[in-house]
Amino acid sequence: MNILIFFVAVLVFNFIYNYYKYLSCKKYIEWYEKWCVYPDFEVNLIEHKSVVKSLVKNAGIKNTKIPYEQMGISSKQYMLIDFLDQFPAREKSIAFPILRAIAEAKGVYKKRMGSSYNPLAWFEFAIYFPSKILKFIGSREESAISKILNFVWWIVGVIIIPILIATYTSELSIFIRSVFEKISEFY
């Protein structure tokens, strides 16, 4: 019963966490649009720059460079700039990529909220558990160590767990019956 409560608590926490991030993205999109249109908008977005960059980065959105043309005194200068580092900027060529990145992050958090109650997402998480953990701590999901740990995880899941299930079938059936009896007591 404790495992079930823990599992539900993790799902609820995941939903609430991603819902908070979703609402934050929504708020920053609204603020940024108002800031771009109305120069006297009262919110100082520079104070929120690190939060916006973190929202985009934690959503897994790549912070790519965009071409930018800067007018000098007597010439034009072409360069590649990191558009999130320019936040907040009113210039269209910079503002649109920023808005697009925040909107894309909002979509990622919305998808993650849905994954909280999607059994297929749980299954995918269980299959790729080691690489998800490595990604969470900052490693690349496509790294060699991630692939090796996934392989070991699959070996454990395909060979060792079925052996344990075959060995302890009667104990597992008693446990499963007791779980269903506890659930039926609530209803």
pLDDT of residue 72: 63
Q: 164 pLDDT exceeds 80?
A: no
pLDDT at 85 over 90: no
Name, in order, each residue with C-beta under 8 angstroms of 58's C-beta and a sequence gap of 6 or more. 21, 105
Residue 144's pLDDT band, with cuts at 50, 70 and 90, is confident
Average pLDDT of the segment spanning 157-174: 80
Residues 6+ apart with CB under 8 A from 28: 48, 51, 52, 55, 102
C-alpha of 11 from chain center = 14
Q: Which two tokens stand for residue 106?
A: 């909002």
Percent of the chain with pLDDT over 90: 19
With a CB cutoff of 8 Å and minimum separation 6, the contacts of 67 are 78, 79, 80
31-82: pLDDT as tens digits:
999 998 988 888 888 898 899 999 998 888 877 777 677 666 666 777 677 8
Q: Does the pLDDT at position 1 exceed 60? A: no
Higher pLDDT, 81 or 29: 29
pLDDT band per the 50, 70, 90 thresholds, residue 130: confident
Q: How many CB atoms lie within 10 A of CB 83?
A: 21
Is the previous residue joined to 97 through a cis bond, with omega within 30 degrees of 0? no
